[in-house]
Chain A
Amino acid sequence: MNKSVVKQAFYKSLPVMAGYVVLGIGFGILLRSAGYGVLWAFAMSAFIYAGSMQYVGVGLISGGASILTTAFTTVMVNARHLFYSISMIDRYKNAGKYKPYLIFALTDETYSLLSDGHAPAEGDPNQYRFFVSLFDQCYWVTGSVLGSLLGAVLPFSTAGIEFSMTALFIASFTEQWLNTHDHVPALTGLVGTLLCLVVFGPERFLIPAMLLITLALTLLRKREERTI
Chain B
Amino acid sequence: MNAAVLIAVMAVVTVLLRFLPFLIFRKQTPAYITYLGKVLPSAIIGMLVIYCLKDISLAVPPYGLPELIAAACVVGLQAWKRNSLLSILSGTLVYMVLIQTVF
Identify the closest chain B residue to A64 (Cβ).
Answer: B1
Q: Is the beta-carbon distance between B9 and A74 smaller than 8 angstroms?
A: yes
Chain B residues, CB < 8 A from A150: none
| Category for how many chain A residues contact B | 35 or more
Most buried by B among A168, A188, A213: A168
| CA–CA, A173 and B74, complex, Å | 10
| CA–CA, A168 and B88, complex, Å | 6
Known: A89-B29, A90-B29. A164 touches B49 (CB 8 A): no
Query: Which applies to chain A's interface (DSSP): helix, strand, loop or mixed?
Result: helix
A103 to chain B, nearest CB (A): 5
Chain A residues, CB < 8 A from B35: 221, 224-225
Interface size on B, residues (CB 8 A): 65
| CA–CA, A160 and B95, complex, Å | 6
Chain B residues, CB < 8 A from A220: 39
Contacts from B to A (Cβ < 8 Å)? 1, 3, 5-11, 13-15, 17-22, 25, 29, 32-55, 66-67, 70-71, 74-75, 78-79, 82, 84-85, 87-89, 91-92, 95-96, 98-100
11 contacts between A and B (CB under 8 A): A78-B13, A87-B44, A89-B21, A167-B71, A170-B71, A173-B49, A175-B82, A192-B47, A193-B46, A194-B50, A206-B51
